[in-house]
Amino acid sequence: MTTLLRILRFTRTLAPYYVGIMIAAAIVTAAGLAVPFITGRATDVVVDAVSSGIAGDPAAEAVAGTVGTVLLLALALLAVSLVEAGIGNVGGYWGDVMSAKMRTILSTRYFEQLLALPQRYYDDELTGTIVARLNRSISEVTNFMKSFSNLFVTLILTTVSVLAISAWYYWPLAVLLAIAYPVYFWLTALTSRRWQRLEGEKNAHVDVASGRFAEVVGQMRVVKSFVGERRELNAFADRFARTETLTESQSRHWHRMDALRQGVLHLIFFGLYAIIFVQTVTGRFTPGDMVMLVQLMAMARQPVTSLSWVVDTAQRAIAGSKSYFEVMDLDPAAVDGGGERPVEPRGDGVGAAGSAEADAAVGPGSAGAGAPPAIAFRGVRFGYGDADEVLAGVDFAVAPGERVAFVGESGGGKTTIMSLLMGLYGVRDGRIEIAGAGRGLEDLRRSIGVVFQEPALFSGTVAENIAYGRPGASRAEIEAVAARAAVDRFVDQLPDGYDTVVGERGIKLSGGQKQRIAVARAMLKDAPIFVLDEATSALDTKSERLVQAGLEDLMGGRTSLIIAHRLSTIAEVDRIVTLKDGRIDEIGPPAELAASGGIYAELLALQASSARADRKRLQDFDVVG
């Protein structure tokens, strides 16, 4: 019940539609209720004419009057039916508009909530599950609201009218009906709890299957290359087979209860019809009364059966929207697990704000020596969720305009540092200061241009993908950055040039082409801080050199953090930060670290070696010569 109230509250802007649909339903019901009276009256007129003998004498004047009366009554039936059809369709139209609006409300609010949820939420969720949940909730909640607003007034109006009319004619009829309704309702409610639980279990299986389904479709190449089709199909079919078993038990329960409900109902209606027939024979009711009451009883069944329909759709809506509202109820801050995001450096001088170690890290001779750092990590500790620490106290500072490369073993936390920099996760301890972070996460992220390890494009065109970096950029601007990122080298060979559709996540492009588009996208953003996470790892040496030239040009004057996989690229930065066991091992200019005997020196030595073991060790650092 609370879920239903919640749906109503959630969609309260649709109240005028609910009311409109209810009014239309009320008119249709009232018109329907007039039918038994009209046919009852017609029966009495006809029976009178037949029993008085005038019906056999077409010449008699009385016949003309009677014919006039019955024709009028037939006309009344026509009028009532036309009102029913006309108003019924107006209500139907409102119902359709209401459903479309409800779809908009439920979808956009869900999407809005998803966009507000932190990265941590997506680490544990499957895309297909998120989509399946939305689709189910929309269709089931909409169905329910439509049938509810259509049937609610009809139910109330029919029930009250039928009870009042039957009480007026003969009170035992009303008493029997007054027993029928609550008993039926009670039996319906009894089935509900178990039904809902089973529906929830079914939904969970469908969600898991849909989640995997979307993943498989999105990564068909992996599935095919590992001959995983049969495995995936079996796992998928298995989930649905489990829903079949659950449906069997759910449906058995439902129909058993339904048979019981119907049995009780038929017994009560047997009593009602028996009373009406006997009372007509004994002269209490006229034949017209009997026809009217029999029709009325037929109408009295409608609320009862409608009630079970409403309960059925309500159950589906409750079960279907449960996981939807679970997502809507999530508090982004709580999901996030807290932790400080990057903040604007304090205005009271660098030394006062942070540790001496961090500030000392601003390299001598770097562009901003002496100036407040553009980026500073101060005793930063971090781990994903409740897992072990990935960063166990990281301190460094980057001067404005400085280029810093990060080197460390694979899984050592380089990408994690970049994620923390963008405020995708909060730190466990310590503090990150970034010039430009002061006014919240959006400002922070606007001030950072990033090329991710995975280029991750959208399904639009090449030009649209580049323009994602700055919506509204002109074609000339797009083509200018494309040239800097060496996109122009391959775009002419694509069927529609910059207007070529790249497929889901850019599947129609090569890894290197995707990376170049991702670089162009970040270039177009034109942010003061630049983050490159293995941005050119998929490029061959020649293309990389081309892109690198564009990047060099772009990085001039910008603070840049680079995770590079090529030692030659690393050698050209201002300083190198080496990571070991979640901490910083060394910080210094390449020339200094080359001689220090640390990780970077080791990498250089390994590079010079042709021994197999040495090449292997180099791979552990995601580094090539």
Ligand X SMILES: Nc1ncnc2c1ncn2[C@@H]1O[C@H](COP(=O)(O)OP(=O)(O)OP(=O)(O)O)[C@@H](O)[C@H]1O
Under the rule (CB under 6 A), what is the footprint of ligand X? 123, 384, 390, 408, 410-416, 453, 622
Residue 406, C-beta contacts closer than 8 angstroms, at least 6 positions apart: 414, 417, 561, 562, 563, 576, 577, 578, 579
> Please, what is the Cα angle at 408 between 402 and 409, to 5 degrees?
160
- Name the minimum Å distance from CB 535 to ligand X: 12
By C-beta, is 479 or 586 nearer to ligand X?
586
HSE on the CB side for 584, CA within 13 Å?
21
Residue written as token pair 């082409």: 513
Residue 180, C-beta contacts closer than 8 angstroms, at least 6 positions apart: 264, 265, 268, 269, 300, 304
> Please, what is the Cα angle at 494 between 452 and 506, to 5 degrees?
30
By C-beta, is 180 or 391 nearer to ligand X?
391
Distance between CA atoms of residues 430 and 57, nearest Å: 107
- Name the minimum Å distance from CB 511 to ligand X: 15
By C-beta, is 424 or 524 nearer to ligand X?
424
Distance between CA atoms of residues 23 and 149, nearest Å: 9
Q: What DSSP designation does 284 have?
A: S
By C-beta, is 553 or 620 nearer to ligand X?
620
By C-beta, is 10 or 425 nearer to ligand X?
425
Amino acid at 599: I
- Name the minimum Å distance from CB 510 to ligand X: 21
- Name the minimum Å distance from CB 407 to ligand X: 9
- Name the minimum Å distance from CB 386 to ligand X: 10
- Name the minimum Å distance from CB 385 to ligand X: 7
- Name the minimum Å distance from CB 191 to ligand X: 43
Distance between CA atoms of residues 63 and 56, nearest Å: 9
> Please, what is the Cα angle at 327 between 323 and 329, to 5 degrees?
110
Which parts of 53-170 fold into alpha helices (H)?
61-116, 119-123, 127-169
Distance between CA atoms of residues 325 and 146, nearest Å: 19
By C-beta, is 6 or 583 nearer to ligand X?
583
Q: Are strands 429-434 and 375-382 parallel, antiparallel or unpaired?
A: antiparallel
How many other CB atoms sit within 10 Å of the CB of residue 451?
A: 26
Q: Are strands 375-382 and 391-398 parallel, antiparallel or unpaired?
A: antiparallel
By C-beta, is 21 or 391 nearer to ligand X?
391
> Please, what is the Cα angle at 98 between 96 and 100, to 5 degrees?
70
- Name the minimum Å distance from CB 555 to ligand X: 20
By C-beta, is 290 or 535 nearer to ligand X?
535
- Name the minimum Å distance from CB 624 to ligand X: 13
- Name the minimum Å distance from CB 213 to ligand X: 23
Among candidate residues 536, 568, 342, the one with its CA nearest the CA of residue 451: 536
By C-beta, is 120 or 470 nearer to ligand X?
120
Burial profile 55-81: b = 16 or more Cβ within 10 angstroms, e = fewer: beeeeeeeeeebeebeeebeebeeebe
End-to-end CA gap in the chain: 66
Amino acid at 562: I
By C-beta, is 247 or 415 nearer to ligand X?
415
- Name the minimum Å distance from CB 389 to ligand X: 10
By C-beta, is 136 or 341 nearer to ligand X?
341
Alpha-carbon 311 to chain mean position: 26
Alpha-carbon 616 to chain mean position: 44
